[in-house]
Amino acid sequence: MKINEHYTEIGNNYLFAEIAKRVREYKAKEPGKQVISLGIGDITQPIAPAVIEAIHRATDEMTDTSTLRGYSPDSGYDFLVQAILKHEFTDRGIHVEADEIIVSDGAKSDTGNIGDILSPDNTVAITDPAYPVYVDTSIMAGRRIELLPCTPANGFLPSFPKQKTDVIYLCYPNNPTGTALTRGQLKTWVDYAITNRSLILFDAAYEAFISQQDVPHSIFEIEGARQVAIEFRSFSKTAGFTGLRCGYTVVPKDLTAETSKGEKISLNALWKRRQSTKFNGTAYIIQRGAEAVYTPEGQRQTRETIAYYMHNAGIIRDALESAGLICYGGINAPYIWCRTPDGLTSWQFFDLLLDRVQVVGTPGSGFGPSGEGFFRFTAFGKREDTLEAVSRIKSLL
């Protein structure tokens, strides 16, 4: 037996494990001190009552043989697909069809698993810094990676790859930088992909946090994108499903690739084949919960929660800027990306904040080499923690 040795090439110290370890060690050393975390991008606010009520109703259906549900249809229940189609795409004038929406257990699995239907020979371009799944899963598959630096110098707009690239991961609004692309900027990438016959894997997990008019919610708002892009969406940040688990991937039927024998293959069909072979569907109860996000109450309640998080984002950004830090993001995404003060490395700033004011954030270098010298704060905290954390940081700087 041989293992897939590419797994030995990915870093052992997963970023959040290292953070947790340092916090644990600090707490053991200073048991009386209260540590506040503005680190992980996980929810702190209750899930919308409309979603919870739908989950309760769906759970009750499981007690009766006439309403009981077992395995879900491979691509998701029609009630959820139709709700997604109407609210996310059709009502916004975006051309997507029902059989192009494939429901899943979240964007992490899909952004990682999509590589299953692509050749290991493909070259992959990934923005740097990035959500770690794109790099790690590309390494696991043995693909050659080109990083595309995103820094203040280029306004966080990556340059096109230097080498011919088959696959490009883009995530906008972006984790970790909190920055977004305008329609015009995203169009240059769609045009690039059309000219170079590349595939764009577009992660739109944070689209619900967009506040500016010229920022696209979907890559399919851009002309030509149906020929070159797959889009990943998630209920995790939109509606607090990080623990419930539901997302979906849009694979347009216009998207095709040629086999080595010159045969045209639909990526939509291939992804459905992959999912029906390796995935047995998202729980019925959870899909009913996701459907309820699109009821009038669900929409109102989830928007209120997003507004709460984005108010935190404003508090963090204003406070850090008034303390002299240079900050980015926090306008179309729940993350604030700061330059570390006094030329500190990301981990030096992490240790300083933990040691001196007991505040935890995420070192930018954990998201890729271009993240060195930056630090990410999340807006997903509780309001009182956010206020206390920024006041402590201000007292330090």
Q: Interface residues with ligand PLP (CB under 6 A)?
A: 41, 106-108, 111, 131, 171, 175, 203, 205, 234, 236, 242, 247
Buried b (16+ CB within 10 A) or exposed e, 81-107: bebbbeebbeeeebebeeebbbbbbbb
Local structure of 394: helix, strand or coil: helix
d(CA 102, CA 272): 8
Say if residue 24 is exposed, middle or buried (CB neighbours under 10 Å; 0-12, 13-18, 19+): exposed
Our CB check for ligand PLP shows the closer of 125 and 205 to be 205
Question: Comparing C-alpha atoms, which of 176, 180, 190, 185 is closest to residue 220?
Answer: 190
Output the residue with the shortest Cβ distance to ligand PLP. Answer: 106
Instruction: State the nearest-atom distance from the C-beta of 168 to ligand PLP, in Å.
Output: 15
Instruction: State the nearest-atom distance from the C-beta of 256 to ligand PLP, in Å.
Output: 26
244, 47 in Cβ contact below 8 A?
A: yes
Our CB check for ligand PLP shows the closer of 126 and 267 to be 126
Say if residue 36 is exposed, middle or buried (CB neighbours under 10 Å; 0-12, 13-18, 19+): buried
Instruction: State the nearest-atom distance from the C-beta of 226 to ligand PLP, in Å.
Output: 22
Our CB check for ligand PLP shows the closer of 131 and 319 to be 131
376, 368 in Cβ contact below 8 A?
A: no
Instruction: State the nearest-atom distance from the C-beta of 366 to ligand PLP, in Å.
Output: 13
Our CB check for ligand PLP shows the closer of 41 and 161 to be 41
d(CA 124, CA 114): 13
Instruction: State the nearest-atom distance from the C-beta of 290 to ligand PLP, in Å.
Output: 11
Question: Comparing C-alpha atoms, which of 125, 188, 133 is closest to residue 155?
Answer: 188
Our CB check for ligand PLP shows the closer of 55 and 244 to be 244
Our CB check for ligand PLP shows the closer of 138 and 358 to be 138
Q: How far is C-alpha 247 from the chain's CA centre?
A: 11
d(CA 278, CA 312): 39
Give, for 359, the enclosing helix (H) or strand (E): strand 359-360
Our CB check for ligand PLP shows the closer of 106 and 252 to be 106
Instruction: State the nearest-atom distance from the C-beta of 41 to ligand PLP, in Å.
Output: 5
Instruction: State the nearest-atom distance from the C-beta of 327 to ligand PLP, in Å.
Output: 19
